[in-house]
């Protein structure tokens, strides 16, 4: 059996009409106030089917009624117990509007017993012979199909409904069915629905009916990150509504707020870098003394750090702790409906690349979405800012930072900007402003007369006997150093000579 996919449809039980009525011509009549419409289909001697839709004065919820009037002389049975609904209001195949690559994949979500559950449309499989649905949900509070920017949701105003979804990842249909019903001659069976068709903006979802604003999730598997993303979105909306009605400006204010919130971590990171810089002369001295023995150099470095109370990971750990903040902002700024078609400066849409100008050709590229077809200024400025940041935030590199490591430090910002090249300009705006603020913070802190104590620390730890293998390795390294010294002395003509 092949299921037809109609954007907005009506499906009866298979033993009756199935989806055949979606291909019939209906008679339409508007209501007197112009806010409603009724579609009627007469099947002489059998039934009269109507679909009525009414839009309230505000909101995106359609008050929908489906009715079946029995015009025959016999009782009609619609549906088959738990196997098939009497009639289903359907939607398919997708709700996407150019947003399939943003945020999470399209989800079929339902609410039941006070909590939500969902299944990704990517997990759907084509119908097998005799198969019907991929997921079946008895008696849900509501069912919804949603993407990054838009959602379609059905809420039954009757008991015993059943939600379902069927099809393949690119061609599917979802619906909310009514329970098995017997209709006597001359009688009418009717089922009322609330239907939401609109954006995933949280205020729009909340205005539809209670709990519908829970449908969208920025993260479907990590609950606390989803809540944190929505918290940040709430702050972004507050800046937009109360400070300045532009989402570009709101992103800048949000960036300032995030920078202030993580400043204690930034301070610890920069103090650790300052202590590392203060030890640079001693590390350089160690390098000259030890030479190319990397193993011994690492050991002596760690001993020096331990003696002076310096944590070599102190500069990295605070930055790593900020990664969840960046990841949640990354997902939120990339797929929030509020940024869709929101302009700022030369950017026409903060949910798309900033596109200073479009190239007359497209350049295939394995990164940045597979191609480059325009000049996006924000990621380029972001790369420049990151390169400057690596210089300003740690101007005196440690003795162990060789040319290869320095090249890597310069290469990483460029690669990061390449990966970000075709992503949302709102996200790249956040990265650029955050990087510039980081440079400003580092310059202020470096100009402050802050004394860091790198004097030798007294240790109270008892001396531990050295393991025999470690002692043997130490003697081996000492012998190698003695041989190098003798060799250097012979070259300089100051060592012993064998005549």
The per-residue pLDDT for range 309-323, each reduced to its tens digit, is 666 665 565 566 667
Token pair listed for 264: 């204690």
Listed in sequence order, the residues at least 6 apart from 156 whose beta carbon sits closer than 8 Å to its beta carbon are 140, 142, 176, 178, 191, 192, 193
75 and 43 inside one domain: yes
pLDDT of residue 64 exceeding 70, the answer is yes
Q: Is the dihedral of CA 168, 171, 176, 182 positive or negative?
A: negative
pLDDT of residue 293 exceeding 60, the answer is yes
pLDDT for res 78: 86
- Final residue belonging to a domain, choices 432, 447, 462: 447
**196 part of a folded domain:** yes
212 and 230 inside one domain: no
Closest CA to 182 of 66, 71, 78: 78
pLDDT of residue 498 exceeding 70, the answer is no
Cis status of the peptide bond prior to 230, with omega within 30 of 0: no
Q: Any idea what the CATH number is for the domain that residue 50 is in?
A: 2.70.98.90
- pTM passes above 0.85: no
Q: What are phi and psi of 442, to 5 degrees?
A: -65, -40
Q: In angstroms, what CA-CA distances link 8 with 142, 197, 402? A: 17, 11, 64
Burial (Cβ within 10 Å: 0-12, 13-18, ≥19) of residue 463: exposed
In the chain, % of residues over pLDDT 70: 80
177 and 271 inside one domain: no
**316 part of a folded domain:** yes
Number of domains composing the chain: 2
Q: Taking the CB of residue 350, how many other CB atoms lie within 10 A of it?
A: 26
184 and 257 inside one domain: no
337 and 389 inside one domain: yes
Closest CA to 424 of 471, 354, 495, 337: 354
In the chain, % of residues over pLDDT 90: 19
Per-residue pLDDT, averaged over 261-270, amounts to: 77
pLDDT for res 233: 92
**364 part of a folded domain:** yes
pLDDT of residue 395 exceeding 80, the answer is no
**186 part of a folded domain:** yes
pLDDT of residue 236 exceeding 60, the answer is yes
Which structural domain range is residue 408 located in?
A: 226-447
pLDDT of residue 127 exceeding 80, the answer is no
- Final residue belonging to a domain, choices 217, 241, 265: 217
Q: In angstroms, what CA-CA distances link 170 with 9, 96, 124, 166, 260? A: 18, 11, 9, 11, 44
**479 part of a folded domain:** no
- Final residue belonging to a domain, choices 190, 217, 244: 217
**69 part of a folded domain:** yes
**35 part of a folded domain:** yes
Whether 231 and 333 have beta carbons less than 8 Å apart is answered as no
pLDDT of residue 52 exceeding 70, the answer is yes
269 and 211 inside one domain: no
Q: What is the mean pLDDT of the chain?
A: 79
344 and 272 inside one domain: yes
Token pair listed for 304: 């020096």
**466 part of a folded domain:** no
| Residue recorded with tokens 């160690």 | 286
Per-residue pLDDT, averaged over 178-186, amounts to: 89
pLDDT of residue 153 exceeding 90, the answer is yes
192 and 252 inside one domain: no
pLDDT for res 413: 76
pLDDT of residue 247 exceeding 90, the answer is yes
pLDDT for res 390: 75
386 and 305 inside one domain: yes
253 and 152 inside one domain: no
356 and 395 inside one domain: yes
Whether 202 and 213 have beta carbons less than 8 Å apart is answered as yes
Alpha carbons 162 and 88: distance in angstroms, whole number: 9
Strand partners, 36: 54
pLDDT digits (tens, 9 = 90+) for 405-457: 667 767 777 778 788 888 888 989 998 998 898 888 877 777 766 555 556 55
13 and 37 inside one domain: yes
Token pair listed for 146: 């949603």
Q: How big is the CA angle at 68 (ends 64 and 73), to the nearest 5 degrees?
A: 170
The full 3-state SS of 244-280, as one line of letters, equals CCCHHHHHHHHHHHHHHHCHHHHHHHHHHHHHHHHCH
Alpha carbons 108 and 324: distance in angstroms, whole number: 27
pLDDT of residue 256 exceeding 70, the answer is yes
């Amino acid at each position: 059996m092949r299921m037809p996919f109609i954007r907005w449809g009506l499906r009866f039980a298979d033993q009756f009409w199935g989806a055949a009525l979606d291909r019939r011509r209906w008679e339409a009549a508007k209501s007197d106030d112009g806010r409603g419409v009724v579609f009627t289909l007469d099947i002489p001697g059998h039934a009269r089917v109507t679909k009525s839709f009414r839009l309230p004065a505000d909101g995106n919820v359609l008050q929908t009624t489906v009715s079946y009037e029995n015009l025959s002389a016999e009782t009609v049975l619609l549906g088959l117990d738990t196997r098939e609904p009497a009639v289903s209001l359907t939607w398919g195949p997708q709700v996407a509007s150019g947003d399939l690559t943003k945020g999470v994949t399209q989800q079929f979500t339902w609410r039941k017993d006070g909590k939500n559950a969902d299944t990704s449309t990517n997990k759907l499989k084509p119908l097998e012979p005799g198969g019907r649905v991929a997921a079946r949900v008895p008696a849900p509070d509501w069912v919804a199909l949603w993407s990054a920017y838009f959602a379609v949701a059905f809420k039954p105003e009757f008991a015993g409904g059943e939600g379902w979804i069927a099809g393949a990842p690119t061609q599917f249909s979802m619906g909310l069915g009514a329970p098995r019903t017997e209709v006597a001659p001359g009688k009418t069976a009717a089922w009322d629905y609330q239907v939401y068709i609109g954006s995933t903006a949280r205020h729009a979802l909340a205005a539809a009916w209670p709990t519908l604003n829970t449908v969208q999730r920025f993260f479907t598997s990590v609950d606390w990150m989803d809540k944190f993303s929505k918290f940040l979105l709430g702050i972004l909306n507050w800046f937009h509504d109360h400070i300045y009605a532009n989402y570009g400006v709101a992103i800048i204010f949000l960036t300032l707020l995030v920078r202030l919130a993580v400043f204690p971590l930034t301070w610890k990171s920069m103090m650790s870098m300052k202590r590392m810089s203060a030890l640079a002369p001693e590390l350089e001295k160690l390098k000259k003394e030890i030479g190319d023995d990397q193993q011994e150099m690492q050991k002596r470095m760690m001993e020096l750090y331990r003696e002076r109370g310096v944590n070599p990971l102190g500069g990295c750990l605070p930055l790593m702790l900020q990664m969840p903040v960046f990841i949640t902002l990354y997902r939120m700024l990339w797929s929030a409906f509020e940024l869709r078609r929101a302009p700022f400066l030369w950017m026409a849409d903060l949910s798309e690349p900033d596109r200073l100008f479009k190239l007359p050709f497209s350049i295939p590229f394995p990164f940045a979405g597979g191609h480059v077809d325009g000049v996006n200024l924000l990621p380029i400025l972001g790369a420049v800012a990151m390169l400057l940041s690596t210089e300003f935030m740690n101007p005196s590199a440690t003795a162990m930072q060789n040319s290869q490591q320095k090249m890597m430090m310069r290469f990483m910002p460029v690669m990061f900007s390449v990966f970000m090249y075709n992503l949302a300009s709102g996200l790249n705006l956040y990265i650029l402003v955050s990087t510039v603020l980081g440079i400003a913070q580092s310059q202020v802190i470096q100009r402050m007369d802050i004394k860091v104590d790198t004097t030798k620390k007294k240790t109270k730890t008892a001396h531990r006997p050295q393991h025999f293998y470690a002692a043997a390795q130490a003697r081996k390294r000492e012998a190698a150093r003695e041989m190098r010294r003798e060799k250097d002395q012979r070259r300089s003509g100051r060592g012993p000579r064998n005549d």
